[in-house]
Amino acid sequence: MNDRRRTRTAFAFAFAWFCLTGVSTQAAEQTNFLVILADDLGYSDLGCYGGEINTPNLDALAAGGLKYTQFYNTARCWPTRAALMTGYYPQQVRRDGMPGTTRQYGGGGKRPDWALTLAERLRPAGYRTYHSGKWHIDGKPIEHGFDRSDEATRSPGFFDSIRKKNRDPKFYRTTATAQHAIECLQEHGELYPEQPFFHYLAFHAPHFPLHALPEDIERYRDRYLAGWDALREQRKQRQATLGLGVGELSPIETEVGPPYDFPDQIKQLGAGEINRPVAWDTLTEQQQRFQATKMAIHTAMVDRMDREIGRVIDQLEEMGEFENTWICFLSDNGASAEIMVRGEGHDPTASPGSAETYLCLGPGFSSAANTPFRRHKTWVHEGGTSTPFIVHWPKGIGSSDERRTNVGHAIDITPTVLEIAEVQPKFGDAPPMSGRSLVPTFENEQAVIHDELWFYHEGNWALRQGDWKIIHSNIARPFPWQRSETAANESKGDAHWKLYDLSHDRAEQHDLADQHPDRVKQMANRWWELQGQFLKDSTWSIGKAVGSN
């Protein structure tokens, strides 16, 4: 019997003994929580969602729990984090813009006092709260309900800064993030065994710059030389074999490149870089090798993240808390088509993926990472907003290795955790959460959590009602968006809505707007009605934060 199975068996006997004898602790009675968030992970990157990347630990969580196929984020990092942590659409809490808002909304926006974090709601109920990794929400974690926090940042990339005289050559951000989580859990087990815990584990991977350990890159170095067209077909076939039921494969939009144009920066990357996802066989050999290497680094980053998640799971098992911990995993947006050079710059002579380089995935392999969907991060098409979503909780969920088609969103994580923790939020004069608890979906695939979901990011608008979805898309967007005249003058008359039936067309290929003009009009009016409500919510002030039971 291996160590992991031996640990699980020992815990099962111990738990049964507690139940029979009536001897228990608060920690045994109250559920722990581990929320894991990836950054710029594509819908099909995980093995259990059709990917070829080695992700055995996340695949095992899916096999032991639930795998959702219609779960959404906000298409961008900081809005999704605000949604996840508060239970509100980011526009309601000023963490993303929309028509009618000012520059005080968005990545620099400050949440209203009533928009408490999940940690702030859990701590009064006796939970110890921990944060490891990326934050990207206003304020600091320690100021907003977390007992311990470490962003594991040594530079704009994943390695220690190349500008430091005494840089640590062994530092790697993904490993450091997991190590901090492990140390928090170890401390918890030693000092606070009577308390339940909430841990927010937010990896930076696989966000650019594409930085990975050499040994991880080597495992995938030549894997992608067949190109993005072949990879998309391979992943789609695996999705069919897995029974994911996510529809047809969207054609690559060869005219859609990065969402922002940085030609001078792209030029620094050399002749191997291209900013459009053209047919693979039209590329030069140099371009093919360069693009395949970038995908190998992206893959290595995902592989390493999964390995580190495995170490965190091992720690939970060692503590005897794995069965009693509600674990979920998701991504903050789809894979990214962005190409730029930031941070500490790019040395074209350095080994790709090293600290001296600054590479981005780009639209070609981003399209493959988001298989089978259309578009990328920042767009509110399915490719930008669809995320893998895994839920694992042996103590509380009777089903395992099952697919869930219930429609859900990052705004649902806070109310779900609060329901399981038996914490009733007090809203006072604050608006009610837009998120809904996912608990009914754990055993019932027919449970309807949302009649509609609303989307907006940087000139891209969408609304999903049932299986119908309308989209207005702004391909050519000025940058930075919040400071542009276009953003300031957005109005109802600017919309050119397209309509899709997602029950047959998750790839968003068949525009039905001309066939259903009344439906488009009704849904468009509803989009603006919700925009007005969110604007009202965002300006609501009660003078002080409201606590929880």
In whole angstroms, how far apart are CA 473 and each of 328, 375, 460, 462, 524? 31, 11, 5, 8, 14
155-195 tens-digit pLDDT: 999 999 999 999 999 999 999 999 999 999 999 999 999 99
Q: Are 336 and 370 in contact (CB under 8 A)?
A: no
Query: For position 22, what pLDDT does the model report?
Result: 33
DSSP β-ladder status, 128-133 and 148-150: parallel
In whole angstroms, how far apart are CA 373 and each of 96, 212, 369, 382, 384? 24, 26, 9, 6, 8
Q: Are 260 and 340 in contact (CB under 8 A)?
A: yes
222-244 tens-digit pLDDT: 999 999 999 999 999 999 999 99
20-29, 137-146, 408-417, 469-478, range with the lowest pLDDT: 20-29
Q: Are 152 and 180 in contact (CB under 8 A)?
A: yes
Written as six digits, the tokens of 174 are 């993904």
3-state secondary structure 261-291: CCHHHHHCCCCCCCCCCCCHHHCCHHHHHHH
> 470 or 475, which is more confident?
470
C-alpha span between 271 and 228 (Å, rounded): 19
Residue 548 is classified by DSSP as B
Query: For position 542, what pLDDT does the model report?
Result: 52
Q: Is the per-residue pLDDT at 549 higher than 70?
A: no
Among candidates 477, 435, 456, which has minimal Cα distance to 95?
456
pLDDT confidence of 324, banded at 50, 70, 90? very high
Q: Is the peptide bond before 480 cis (omega within 30 degrees of 0)?
A: yes
Query: For position 541, what pLDDT does the model report?
Result: 74
Residues belonging to the chain:
549
C-alpha span between 73 and 194 (Å, rounded): 34
Angle at CA 350, nearest 5°, toward 349 and 352?
Answer: 115
Amino acid type, 484: S
pTM score over 0.75? yes
Residue 252 is classified by DSSP as P
pLDDT confidence of 11, banded at 50, 70, 90? very low
Amino acid type, 30: Q
Show Cβ contacts of residue 115 under 8 Å, excluding neighbours closer than 6 positions: 86, 88, 92, 93, 430
Amino acid type, 108: G
Amino acid type, 541: S
Q: Is the per-residue pLDDT at 369 higher than 50?
A: yes
Q: Is the per-residue pLDDT at 98 higher than 50?
A: yes
Show Cβ contacts of residue 264 under 8 Å, excluding neighbours closer than 6 positions: none
Residue 303 is classified by DSSP as H
Written as six digits, the tokens of 367 are 């399209």
C-alpha span between 347 and 268 (Å, rounded): 9
Show Cβ contacts of residue 519 under 8 Å, excluding neighbours closer than 6 positions: 468, 499
Q: Is the per-residue pLDDT at 317 higher than 80?
A: yes
In whole angstroms, how far apart are CA 518 and each of 56, 200, 513, 521? 47, 43, 9, 5
Show Cβ contacts of residue 227 under 8 Å, excluding neighbours closer than 6 positions: 280, 281, 283, 288, 291, 292, 364
Rg of the Cα atoms in the chain: 23
147-162: average pLDDT: 97
Written as six digits, the tokens of 43 are 């819908």
C-alpha span between 549 and 545 (Å, rounded): 13
C-alpha span between 510 and 450 (Å, rounded): 24
Kindly report the average pLDDT of the chain as a whole number: 93
Q: Are 214 and 351 in contact (CB under 8 A)?
A: yes
Q: Are 468 and 506 in contact (CB under 8 A)?
A: no
Phi-psi region of 454 (alpha: psi -120 to 50; beta: other; left: phi over 0): beta
Among candidates 243, 240, 364, 388, which has minimal Cα distance to 302?
388
Taking each helix axis as running N to C, give the angle between helix 413-420 and helix 77-86, from 0 to 180 degrees, rounded to the nearest 10. 30
372-423 tens-digit pLDDT: 999 999 999 999 999 999 999 999 999 999 999 999 999 999 999 999 999 9
Amino acid type, 12: A
C-alpha span between 277 and 363 (Å, rounded): 6
Could you tell me what percent of the chain has a pLDDT over 70?
93
